């Protein structure tokens, strides 16, 4: 069977080393590769797949374009309008493993009951994290962005999840305390002292690591989750969907970390 990660650019993806490590652990003789596919190339690529293909991981900029090309999607993928996983067979079924992957990564770090949260950034990752935080019980969400118009997607998702939402500016200095702070923006533009106002920090960056935000949190004993944790947990879910087998996220995280160290 064949699987792959699609995107553009995609050569940097850690998905191949994680999925191949999973196949080795499970003892399955499957292939997994990274394939450069642009938005306009996605539909013909999918149409050209034969029955040796079992599944696809999908990254930027294809996650939204993909949904319209599928026969069915999971509840999370439908709510977000974003799919990062396709199961191939008689039909193309889309899933979003970023949401449960983020949920599992936070739980692994000891984060279970959330009431209030703050997200820095307003893109697709921020929208996925809003849904993830709602699954942990969050009822109050602050979205900090440069331009309020960029928060519309996150606000819409949060409202549909029953959360009260406040949109603020990234430059605001006075912020209240929250249970979880999530950063989805480049590390260089994040004020690391924001960690002081959170009980846990989730920084979706993984290279270079640690970020100033993560270092500040760790120096204060605040639990930190990073992008590699998210990647490993969502990849473990993809492996299960595609193969039916179960692998430890720590195995995939280790394989990805070794690959990063070798680059």
Rounded-to-integer distance, Cα 46 and Cα 25, Å: 28
d(C-alpha 223, C-alpha 220), whole Å: 9
**Among the options 34, 42, 55, 63, which is catalytic?**
63
176 is catalytic: no
Known catalytic residues?
63
């Amino acid at each position: 069977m064949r699987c792959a990660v699609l995107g553009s650019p995609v050569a940097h993806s850690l998905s191949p080393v994680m999925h191949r490590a999973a196949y080795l652990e499970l003892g399955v003789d499957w292939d997994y590769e990274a394939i450069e596919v642009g938005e306009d190339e996605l539909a013909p690529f999918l149409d050209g797949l034969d029955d040796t293909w079992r599944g696809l991981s999908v990254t930027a900029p294809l996650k939204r374009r993909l949904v319209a090309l599928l026969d069915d999607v999971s509840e999370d993928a439908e709510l977000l309008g974003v799919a990062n996983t396709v199961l191939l067979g008689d039909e193309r079924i889309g899933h979003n493993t970023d949401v449960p992957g983020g949920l599992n990564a936070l739980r692994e770090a000891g984060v279970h009951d959330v009431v209030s949260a703050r997200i820095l950034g307003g893109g697709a990752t921020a929208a996925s994290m809003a849904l993830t935080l709602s699954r942990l019980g969050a009822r109050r969400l602050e979205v900090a962005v440069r331009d309020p118009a960029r928060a519309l997607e996150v606000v819409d998702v949060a409202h549909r999840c029953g959360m009260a939402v406040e949109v603020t500016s990234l430059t605001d200095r006075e912020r209240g305390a929250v249970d979880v702070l999530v950063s989805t923006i480049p590390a260089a533009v994040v004020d690391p002292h924001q960690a002081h106002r959170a009980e846990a920090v989730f920084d979706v960056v993984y290279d270079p690591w640690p970020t100033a935000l993560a270092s500040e949190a760790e120096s204060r004993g605040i639990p930190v989750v990073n992008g590699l944790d998210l990647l490993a947990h969502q990849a473990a879910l993809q492996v299960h969907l595609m193969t039916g087998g179960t692998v430890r996220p720590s195995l995939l995280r280790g394989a990805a970390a070794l690959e990063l160290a070798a680059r």
